[in-house]
Structures are given as C-alpha cells and as structure tokens.
Amino acid sequence: MDSLKTFLTQWKDALAAVQSAVTVLGLLVGALWAYFKVFKGRIYTQRLEPCIGAKLIYGNGYLCAVVEITIKNVGLTRVDIDTELSAIEADIYTVNDYALNFITRCGRDSVS
C-alpha cells in the first residue's frame, strides 16, 4: 500500500510540473501574440498619407492652377498601386465658376 501511495505522489508531482510548464508556455505564446497583434500589427499595416497642394499662375488672359498630389507610405508594408486601374481626372472651368480658394492638405495636418 505504501508503494502505491508513493507511486501516486510521484505522478501527482510530475503532473503538477507538466501543468506548470504548459501554463508558462501558454502565457508566453499569448504574450507574443498580443505583442504582435497590438504593437507590430499597427506598423505592418498599409498606411498611405495623401498630400495635395495647389498654386495659381496668372498670365495674359488666362488663369492656371498647378496641382501637386503625392502619396507617402508611412507604414512598413509595401503598397503596390495598379497603374492601369489608377486615374487622374482633370476638368476645365472658367475663372467665374469658382472662388479662388486653394488649400493645401497633407494627411491630418492642414495649412491654408
């Protein structure tokens, strides 16, 4: 009977050690997953920052708007832009169509 009691005590201690090791391993895996999900996940997302600026050029009887549009990749992930599906549309208006109010906006910041 004593040998059975000793055997069960040894198994109990061995299983407790295995349970502790599995618990520590699970906590480490969970911590690594949370780190990559919360912190690194923000870095490796596609983040493009648009910037647009314009200026007016007056000439002999004409008014021309020169517009510059740029997109900056502020994330660490490569962003491929399909040039066949991208387009720039330009319209022509007379001076009397709109008030001459041009604003430069870059990302979240704006300068007027």
Q: Do residue 55 and residue 105 come from a single domain?
A: yes
Q: Do residue 105 and residue 63 come from a single domain?
A: yes
| DSSP three-state, residue 9 | helix
Query: Is residue 111 a contact partner of residue 52, using CB atoms and an 8 Å limit?
Result: no
State the Cα–Cα distance between residues 92 and 64, nearest whole angstrom.
10
| DSSP three-state, residue 14 | helix
Sign of the torsion formed by the C-alpha atoms of 59, 110, 75 and 90: negative
Q: Do residue 35 and residue 62 come from a single domain?
A: no
Q: Do residue 61 and residue 95 come from a single domain?
A: yes
Q: Do residue 72 and residue 103 come from a single domain?
A: yes
By C-alpha distance, which of 73, 80, 69 is closest to 47?
73
Q: Do residue 106 and residue 64 come from a single domain?
A: yes
Q: Do residue 81 and residue 38 come from a single domain?
A: no
State the Cα–Cα distance between residues 14 and 20, nearest whole angstrom.
10
Q: Do residue 57 and residue 98 come from a single domain?
A: yes
Q: Do residue 36 and residue 58 come from a single domain?
A: no
* pLDDT tens, per residue, the chain with 112 residues: 778 788 888 888 899 999 999 999 999 999 998 888 777 666 666 678 888 888 888 777 777 778 888 888 887 778 888 888 877 777 776 655 555 555 555 555 544 4
> What is the domain range of residue 58?
48-111
Number of domains present in the structure of the chain:
2
